[in-house]
Structure 1
Amino acid sequence: MKKNLILLATVILFISCKEKSATKVIEKTTKSTIKYATGFDIITEGNVKKLIIKKPYKKAKKHFTYTLSDKTDLKNLQLKVPITNVVVTSTTHIPMLELIGAEKYISGFPQTKFISSEKTRELIDKGNIVELGTEQQINTEKLLELAPELVVGFALNGNNKTYKTIAKNQIPVLYNGDWLEETPLGRAEWIKFFGVLFNKEKQADSIFNVIEKNYNAVKKLALQTNKKPTIISGSLFKDVWYMPAGGSFIATYFKDANTNYLWQDSKGSGSLSLSIESVIDKGLEADYWIGCGLLETKKEVQEKFPNYVAFNAFKKDNVFTYAIQKGKTGGLIYFEKSPTRPDLVLKDIIKITHPELLPNYKLTFFDNLQ
């Protein structure tokens, strides 16, 4: 009996050691390259590379894991890479594709007038990129004629009928959730999403590493001053002032610029819905107002929002807007390019609030309201 117990214990120990050893092997062969983004991941398991979409849209309850291969199999969520014919749906996708040299693979886009980049606009003017209607109502007939290997979409929920129609025609749709990221570097890291789809992974990693290094360097620079000017942001829309919440990526910019954002302690990662009275009560004496919606001139402010004139930032000409710089067809450069270049956004905010730290730098996205 004693011998049997000893033998049983030995077998259990042996099996346990084998299980632990197998676990270690899996851990060693499973690698992720994502540092900041929470909405997607890229992992390598042995020789198999997988793209995982964790946050395809708000309140999503499931992940989508795609195996990257040499053929597409929608039933088994298998994607052929590299992609050579793609439809993208957000202007935020354009700078990332350009940085890795993949803009030439775009065949269609909804509302091309919002694309500001001169490089991609040239492709539109040549007819290489087809107009596909609006984001809400993509012209599926035109899209299907293009026969893209992939559609990169974005959606508020998983009930987008257009994307379901596209998928039924055996064209894979990947949700890009860069807009759901809560940190500036998390948003920029989505360049790796495109890198892995176009076999430009090393290039995407290298570009992001430079952006990350620049961002962290200027963030460190901001800490050299003890001055912390007070900041307000946002503007009125239909009698509601939308102010970035304390957990938003905008609030992160203000924190990393070493400023005192007056709503830094508020909860949430989106926008706060405030009354003009509450904003005046708390932010009337703020030193700077950065991001005043689509306002472009002081005259426009005085005509449309006379209450704004009372703000200290307005009186001292410290109101800054991203609405002035546009592409030739009217698209806002800030909306298109800033998610990819958070280092330049942070430099802008530091230049505005701590100009002595960046004496030779010129603003990239923001302009003083004139």
Structure 2
Amino acid sequence: MKHLLPLLIISVFFISCQKNKPIKPVKTPVKTNIKYAKGFDIITTGNQKKLIIKQPYQNAKTQFTYILGNKTNLSTNELKVPVKNIVVTSTTHIPMLEEIGAENFLIGFPQTKFISSIKTRKRIDAGHVIELGSEQTMNTERLIELAPELVIGFGLNGNNKTYKTIQRNGIPVIYNGDWLEETPLGRAEWIKFFGVLFNKEKEADSIFNVIETNYLSVKKIALKANKIPTIISGSLFKDLWYMPAGDSFIATYFKDANTNFLWQNTKGTGSLALSIESVLDKGLAADFWIGCGLFENRADMLTSNQKYNSFSAFKKGNIYTYANNKGATGGLIYFEKAPTRPDLVLKDIIKITNSDLLPNYSLTFFQKME
């Protein structure tokens, strides 16, 4: 028995050590499928899903995190999904709703006249989408009567009094920052934002994958070009020419179309404010002028400023505008649909600048200005 005592003591010590050995915490993998967009993320941790708005508006210093579940609680930023009825505030949201088959959940919109989509216009005419006034002075009383489960807003800053009033009445508001994205595919990827709100993530992922594949494919086609044309863009507004900056999503289109945008080496993601003299100095002999503000014809441009006629692209008729492609009530289709379909915008630019690369394609957004 005395020989067994040491073994017994060792066994008890070993078992005691095993019980006191710290247990390593099991790490739950965090998943995200956002590839290009910088302004939002969708995080899945275990069974919990979160929607994170990283850039809700310009120069935002805070981000918003929403827990997606089976109830809405404004105090804890919980949102019930799928959303059954919604108000959105930008025409760029309309194609994304339609692409994932969620257009029938739209019940209100500010300034419905700007919506060009034939499908949603039918719902407006039938009284299913209610006019809510302008975005800045939205009819909050009418909106509160509609009682949407969610409002998708956009703004230049976080001090929108209308949105604060809506939230005080128990209706959550989420900022959509798709317009702040710096790349075409980053803007288009916001379709996943709507997908997660309506439990249509598979649909949104599939649609975006097709758009991405098309975009990257036509980008490769552009590399086959035998000539690299020079490009200018923009127009005068109150004596300043607003030209896309070199890091903007517009400049990205020109780069991906394998063209030489003459301001591609400038800094900034927005627009450059230039004098017409500086634009003439650099862009006088440019081959193409793509995007000239809201001008619809060359006569109106000359009425605005005779110096436009100095540009070679203007003289030769190589000037293209999106301002003539409108919906039934005057809304510009480019502003509404282009963010969702960057692949078609890129095709347009390639068709304009190197038409032989896309012989069977017809322009979607742009038209040659008369």
- SS at the partner of 2:90? coil
How far is the alpha carbon of 1:18 from its aligned partner? 2.7
How far apart are the structure 1 equivalents of 2:271 and 2:225? 29
Structure 1 equivalent of residue 103 of structure 2: 103
Structure 1 equivalent of residue 238 of structure 2: 238
Letter in 1 for 2:24: K
Structure 2 equivalent of residue 332 of structure 1: 332
Structure 2 matches for 1:120-159, cutoff 5 A? 120-159=120-159
Structure 1 equivalent of residue 114 of structure 2: 114
Structure 2 equivalent of residue 4 of structure 1: none
Identity %: 71
1:258-305 superposed Cα distances (whole Å, 9 cap, x missing partner): 000000000000000000000000100100000011111121122222
How far is the alpha carbon of 1:307 from its aligned partner? 0.5
Letter in 2 for 1:274: L
Structure 2 equivalent of residue 18 of structure 1: 24
How far apart are the structure 1 equivalents of 2:97 and 2:106? 9
Structure 1 equivalent of residue 284 of structure 2: 284
Structure 2 equivalent of residue 346 of structure 1: 346
> What count of residue pairs does the alignment treat as equivalent?
353
Structure 2 equivalent of residue 174 of structure 1: 174
Letter in 1 for 2:313: A
1:191-238 superposed Cα distances (whole Å, 9 cap, x missing partner): 000000001100000000000000000000000124110000000001
How far is the alpha carbon of 1:78 from its aligned partner? 0.3
How far apart are the structure 2 equivalents of 1:95 and 1:109? 14
How far apart are the structure 2 equivalents of 1:135 and 1:105? 19
Structure 1 equivalent of residue 197 of structure 2: 197
* Displacement over 3 Å in runs of 4+: none
Structure 1 equivalent of residue 323 of structure 2: 323
Letter in 2 for 1:82: P
Gaps of 5+ in 2: 1-16
How far apart are the structure 2 equivalents of 1:362 and 1:216? 19
How far apart are the structure 2 equivalents of 1:238 and 1:367? 25
Structure 1 equivalent of residue 63 of structure 2: 63
How far apart are the structure 2 equivalents of 1:226 and 1:38? 34
- SS at the partner of 2:24? helix
How far is the alpha carbon of 1:159 from its aligned partner? 0.4
Letter in 2 for 1:103: E
RMSD: 1.4
How far apart are the structure 1 equivalents of 2:302 and 2:155? 37
Gaps of 5+ in 1: 1-9
TM-score (norm 2): 0.94
How far apart are the structure 2 equivalents of 1:48 and 1:227? 52
How far apart are the structure 1 equivalents of 2:93 and 2:345? 17
How far apart are the structure 2 equivalents of 1:226 and 1:261? 16
Structure 2 matches for 1:41-60, cutoff 5 A? 41-60=41-60
Structure 2 equivalent of residue 309 of structure 1: 309
1:239-259 superposed Cα distances (whole Å, 9 cap, x missing partner): 010000000000000000000
Structure 1 equivalent of residue 6 of structure 2: none
Letter in 1 for 2:154: F
1:130-175 superposed Cα distances (whole Å, 9 cap, x missing partner): 0000011000000000000000000100000000000111100000
Larger Rg: 2
How far apart are the structure 2 equivalents of 1:142 and 1:89? 14
Letter in 1 for 2:304: K
Letter in 2 for 1:353: T
